[in-house]
Amino acid sequence: MSALNPQIVEKIKYLITLYPAKQAVTLPALHLVQDEYRCVSVQSIVEIAALLELSPAEVHDTMSFYGFFKTEANPLGKCRLWVCRSLACDLRGADDLLNNLIDKLGVGLGETTKDGLFTLEEAECIGACEGAPCVLINDVHSLNVLDADRLVEEIKKKL
């Protein structure tokens, strides 16, 4: 076992006890790996598959469906900054916010800043429409985001 550290392996084995079938641990295992390594490598997939008695293709099938997990060629930065692009946010300036963030961070959609801090992405409705336009900072909402510069600075302080 080389790609998954022992803590992750233990956690996966524990999760297997919670579900009636091993395959159900696929998504939780992928989350564990991506949270730790900011991507899911080919070798991780092989090792997850072995633990869950699946083929690596079966694990990858699930993984690629979500468009959420990154490969080792394109890992996430420390902060995945995703800008909601659904209707309520779009009606209240999401496109300007996105363009401002593109300018401020100097990256395009799907790209990571050179310092490895920010990956800029779009999200479909993140469920905070009362504060449109809104973003997710990893998995935490930030509402009423009108000032892209201030947002980035505030995030940087906490990183």
Partner 1 sequence: MAKYEPVLLKRISKENSDTIESYLADGGYLGLMRILKDCSPSQVIDLVKSSGLRGRGGAGFPTGLKWTFLPKNHPGPIYLCINADESEPCTFNNRVLMEKDPHQVLEGIILSAYAVGASKVFIYVRYEYGDAYRATERAVNQAYEKGFLGKNIQGSPYSLEAVMHKGAAAYICGEETGLIESLEGKRAWPRIKPPFPAIEGAFRKPTIVNNIETVACIKNIIDLGGDWFKSLGIPPDPANPRDAGSYGPKLYCISGHVNKPGLVELPMGISARELIDEYGGGVWKNRKAKGIIPGGNSMGFMTYDELDTKLDFNGPGKVGCLGLGTGAVTVFDDQTSIVDVLYNICRFFAHESCGQCTPCREGTSWMYKIIERIRKGHGSIEDLNILEEVGNRIGTMPGTTICGLADGAGWPVKNAIRKYRSEFESYIKNGTKKFRHLHLQMAHH
Partner 2 sequence: MATVYINDKAVDIGDKNLNLVQVAELAGVTIPHYCYHPELSVVASCRMCLVEVGEKKPDGTVVMQPRVIPACQTPAKDNLVVQTATEKSKSAQAQTLEAILLNHPLDCPVCDKAGECKLQDYSYKYGNSESRMVDDKNTPPNKPDLGHNISLFTDRCIMCSRCVRFTREISGTAELHIVNRGSHSEIDIFPTEPLNNKLASNVVDLCPVGALASKDFLYTHRVWNLKTQDSVCAGCSTGCSIHLDTNKNVVYRLRPRENPKAQGYFMCDDGRLGYHYANSGDRISKPQMKTEIVAHQNSWKDIIPALRTDLKAIGTKKPNGIAVMLSPFLTVEEAYLLASFIKSVSADAVLVLGPIPVIGEDDHYPKTRGTTPLKPKFTIRNEKCPNRKGVEEVIRYFEKKVVSVVDYLNQTIPDVMFVAAGYPDKDGSWMDSNLLSLFKKIKLLIAQDLFPSELTLASKYVIPSATFSEKEGSFVNFSGLAQELHWGCVPLHQVRTEGQVYLDLLERKGLLQASTIREEIAKAIPYFFKFSGGKLGENGIELENLS
How far is Cα 34 from Cα 17, in angstroms, rounded to an integer? 21
Which of 2-10, 26-34, 37-45, 150-158 is the region at the interface with partner 1 (rule: CB under 8 A)? 26-34
| Residue from the set 136, 145, 148, 152 that interacts with partner 1 by CB under 8 A | 136
Closer to partner 1 by CB, 31 or 150: give it: 31
Closest CA to 72 of 108, 102, 36: 36
Residue with tokens 């979500």: 66
Q: Does 2 bind partner 1 (CB under 8 A)?
A: no
Closest CB 84 distance from partner 1, rounded Å? 9
* ∠ Cα 130 125 36 (to 5°): 110
88 binds, among partner 2, partner 1, none (CB under 5 to 8 A by kind): partner 1
| Residue from the set 13, 19, 31, 53 that interacts with partner 2 by CB under 8 A | 53
Q: Does 3 bind partner 1 (CB under 8 A)?
A: no
Residues that bind partner 2 in the complex, under the rule CB under 8 A: 42, 45-46, 49, 53-58, 60-61, 64-67
